[in-house]
Amino acid sequence: MRSTASEVNWSGTVTYSAERVERPRSLEEAAEIVARSRRVHGLGTRHSFNDVADASGVLLDLTGLPTDLVVDTDAGTASMGAGTRYGIVAPDLDAAGVALHNTGSLPHVSLGGAIATGTHGSGTTLGSLSTAVRSFELLGADGSVRTVRRGDDDFDGAVLHLGLLGIVTRVEVDVEPTYRMRQDSYGPIPWERFVAHVADVHAAAYSVCSYTVFGDEVGEVLLKSRVPDGAADVEVPEELLGAPRLPARPADGHVTARDGTVGPWWDRLPHFPVDAVPSVGSEVQSEHFVPLRHAAAALEALRGLADRVQPHLHVCELRTMAADPFWLSPTQGEDVLCIAFTWRKHPEAVAALLPDLEARLAPFDGRPHWGKTSSLDTGAVEALWPRLADFRRLAATADPERVFASAFGERVLRT
């Protein structure tokens, strides 16, 4: 199945420049499309807010390929088609007795796209979704498939690849025995108190997310607590930094249950239910990563822009993520605070604001999310990612004819 561009991203703020979008229904069909295309790039589920998934030629949408889930409990792995959405496969994993270590807040994105861009959930001890990858199958320019495995040379450069090494058709990820969780909300917490204890707050549960608009307080802190094996529930605090537990909010079609009830991991780790797609078209997103040791200073620096930020902001969500070794990782080998802005759909105003916002984060090595909007140019990116030259070499070796080049790769990475 094919359609012509003008097709757009999640928010309608990026119009893809490709000649057409192809939606193969089999691996064989995908290989045929790649083999006959001068330029082709993986599209994912369109949840990027820049041109990281755009290219001239053909965009390849793999969400129509079969999931073909294979679970190996002895090996602790599950493999599936890369176009599979987390929300589709998560209940099936649970039914097979296994679970992922984490998910993003939005379960409607695909494994392939999330892994390629370093997408993450929250948890100071939890790596990004890319860290779960055991192996993946990569469709090359000639239509052949090769497998890249953990332990291979350059694996750390290939996992988070921005689609520049080929088309990922299948992924194998680590799984563990299934588990249950609960969510509880606390707040508000005065700004000064929160900032003084930001690392402690985000270590208070298995996964923690905090919400602010850079006023006098952090309005809500969401604790996602893991229930021990064999236990009916887990004890949670009555207050957090003096802030009470907020009134229970049952699942309502817009958010997963924040009422202290115990449920499966796949219905508590994401913020949004697997059967409801939230906020389509109403937002622009930017996200910035700073070392956790700089969290307090970085937040204070951003708060100095509150008067300019607030008119354009839905909310800013704070998360944490554990270090990983990937060449294009935003962690750069140490635990980070993720500062995620969900802006109102004011793209021009946000674009004008971002240079000043990112300048405030520059003393703390603030790095942008690859799939979100940013003002940083090639020079800034080179300074923030010291392994970028190695990745360029890897991309040139994997794709010497630049069949899989993207607009973003050419403009920002110079690949």
pLDDT digits (tens, 9 = 90+) for 317-369: 999 999 999 999 999 899 999 999 999 999 999 999 999 999 999 999 999 99
What's the DSSP call for residue 49?
A: S
197 occurs within a structural domain: yes
Rg (CA), the chain: 21
208 occurs within a structural domain: yes
411 occurs within a structural domain: no
Instruction: Give the count of domains, the chain.
Output: 1
Tokens of 9: 């991203």
User: Does residue 309 come out as left (phi exceeding 0), alpha (psi in the -120 to 50 range) or beta?
Assistant: alpha
247 occurs within a structural domain: yes
CA distance between the termini of the chain: 30
- The predicted structure's pLDDT at residue 352: 98
263 occurs within a structural domain: yes
Q: Return the SS3 of 75.
A: coil
d(CA 128, CA 330): 10
- The predicted structure's pLDDT at residue 281: 62
Q: Return the SS3 of 30.
A: helix
pLDDT, mean over the chain: 95
Helices and strands, counts by H and E, the chain:
12, 22
What is the percent of the chain with per-residue pLDDT over 70, rounded to a whole number? Answer: 97
242 occurs within a structural domain: yes
- The predicted structure's pLDDT at residue 10: 87
Burial of 213 (0-12, 13-18, 19+ CB in 10 A): middle
- The predicted structure's pLDDT at residue 275: 82
Residue 282 confidence class, pLDDT cut points 50, 70, 90: confident
- The predicted structure's pLDDT at residue 5: 45
The domain that holds 186 is classified in CATH as 3.30.70.2530
- The predicted structure's pLDDT at residue 253: 82
d(CA 84, CA 140): 20
State mean pLDDT over 399-407. 96
- The H or E element containing residue 398 is helix 388-398
State mean pLDDT over 37-42. 95
207 is in which domain, residue-wise?
180-267
d(CA 271, CA 106): 6
Query: Is the pLDDT at 244 greater than 70, yes or no?
Result: yes
pLDDT tens digits along 132-148:
999 999 999 998 999 99
213 occurs within a structural domain: yes
Q: What angle do CA 13, 1, 411 make, to 5 degrees?
A: 40
pLDDT tens digits along 78-113:
999 999 999 999 999 999 999 999 999 999 999 999
3-state secondary structure 245-312: ECCCECCCCCCCCECCCCEEHHHCCCCCCCCCCCCCCCEEEEEEEEEHHHHHHHHHHHHCCHHHHHHH
Residue 311 confidence class, pLDDT cut points 50, 70, 90: very high
Q: CA separation (Å) from 210 to 35, 123, 203, 252?
A: 46, 12, 12, 20
139 occurs within a structural domain: no
Closest of 216, 213, 220 to residue 188, by C-alpha = 220
